[in-house]
Chain A
Amino acid sequence: MQVNYKKSLKLVVLLISSILIATVSATIYDYMNLNGTVGVQGMSLAWLLGADNSTAGTQINGVTATLVNLKGPPNGTRVYADPVELNNTGGTATSFNVTIASITNSTGVGTAVLNSTYVKIYSMNTSALMGTVTVWENGAQGSGVTDLSLPANNVWRFQWEITWKSTATTSDSIAVNLKIEVPVA
């Protein structure tokens, strides 16, 4: 069989073109992903102040809820049962994941003297435990929860449980960032 270099060259050019087309397509998808936040206004999930918003220092700014006043004693556990709630205002159930984006020491030695931190998610409608985010346990970052489904017009509360070791001092503080991922259909 004789190789036709001209045709092969054309084939290579076509393949490179197809890869470029595919790459450009992928970049557009990526760009669409970044622009996905535009769709947030249409999201059915919204933060609400919980009953413990004053003790927890809950602040809600659009899609971001921040708890600025969580504290706990050394060798004891502080529980904020209802600092912030997630409300599904839509007409259908919404699925989401909760992931741990970051845990950083704000001051002091932070996580070195942190025993554990859990975020337990309870339904306000049924009181059932829907999932537990193990933020910190056994000296390491834990894991989030996936495939939660918040029914229409239901509200879930996010309970924070913080336990410092006996060696923790008032100079120790930690910043935690959780992400609620809502898949876009």
Chain B
Amino acid sequence: MRKTNEKAKLGYALLAIALSLLLSYACKNAFGNVYDLINLNSNFSCETPTVILVNGANQTSTIYENATSARIAINANSSALTYNYSLNIINNDSSNWEVNLDCFNATNAVRVNATIVLHDNSTSSVQISVDNVSLNQTDSYSNLASSSTIYIGVMNLIENSPDGTTILQVYLKMRIPGTTTYTLYTITFEFT
């Protein structure tokens, strides 16, 4: 009889150990994801635009809220048209900027021939050109000095086909010289 009790005790003890191991294992899974943590914090704010867009002398632009986006609409035809002052880019900042135009989306681009430039009346930089084959970009930067204005010109615009509308969605990219910090404004060219 006593031997039977001892066997039972041993059985219970083994059972308890087994349950203990099982629970410990379960808890290990629950608490076992250990990480070292590194923090990356930021505090960012909205600032008054220091560079603004203004309708040019050719009156081809629509300026949107905050003067940080615009649409340039021109009716193309079979004769070459040039609008040297489609849009003014005004730097009200005390710092210099470098700017370029970067087309990020195009619809019916090859429907027209056109050359889009940035200029300051004395120097000019070709930014985007389209013809009946392809769209090309130069990725070259123009200087936008403090308290100065440069202009977007649309040159030699010719319609290759009367059908449809050509839409070029372009970033005006403004970079602080010597850095890779930049600001993007969206300018839409619409050639009907």
A174 in contact (CB, < 8 A): yes
The secondary structure that dominates the B interface is: mixed
Q: Give 1 or 0 for each of B22-48: 1 = CB within 8 Å of chain A CB.
A: 011011101111111111111111111
A129 in contact (CB, < 8 A): no
Task: Specify which chain A residues have a CB less than 8 angstroms from the CB of B24 in the assembled complex.
Answer: 21-22, 25-26
| B36, A73: Cβ atoms closer than 8 Å | no
Number of interface residues of B (CB under 8 A): 48
In the complex with contacts A67-B43, A71-B45, A72-B47, A80-B181 CB distance below 8 A = yes
Question: Residue A72 contacts which of B31, B36, B183 (CB distance < 8 angstroms)?
Answer: B183
| B180, A82: Cβ atoms closer than 8 Å | yes
Task: Specify which chain B residues have a CB less than 8 angstroms from the CB of A23 in the assembled complex.
Answer: 27
| A71, B69: Cβ atoms closer than 8 Å | no
A3 in contact (CB, < 8 A): no
Nearest A residue (CB) for B50: A73
Task: Specify which chain A residues have a CB less than 8 angstroms from the CB of B179 in the assembled complex.
Answer: 51-52, 54-55
| B41, A178: Cβ atoms closer than 8 Å | yes
Q: How far is the CB of B14 from chain A (nearest CB, A)?
A: 10
A-facing residues in B55-77 (Cβ within 8 Å): 64-66, 68-69
B8, B64, B183 — most chain A CB neighbours (10 Å): B183
B80 in contact (CB, < 8 A): no
Question: Residue A64 contacts which of B13, B38, B68, B182 (CB distance < 8 angstroms)?
Answer: B38
Task: Specify which chain B residues have a CB less than 8 angstroms from the CB of A47 in the assembled complex.
Answer: 38
A65 in contact (CB, < 8 A): yes
| B46, A10: Cβ atoms closer than 8 Å | no
Question: Residue A75 contacts which of B12, B17, B47, B66 (CB distance < 8 angstroms)?
Answer: B66
| B66, A74: Cβ atoms closer than 8 Å | yes
- Cα(A33)–Cα(B8), bound, Å: 40
Q: How far is the CB of B166 from chain A (nearest CB, A)?
A: 24
A118 in contact (CB, < 8 A): no
B162 in contact (CB, < 8 A): no
A-binding residues in B (CB < 8 A)? 8-9, 12-13, 15-17, 19-20, 23-24, 26-28, 30-50, 64-66, 68-69, 176, 179-185
Extra inter-chain contacts (8) besides given A21-B24, A81-B180, A169-B46, CB under 8 Å? A21-B20, A39-B36, A65-B40, A67-B44, A75-B66, A76-B185, A79-B184, A180-B40
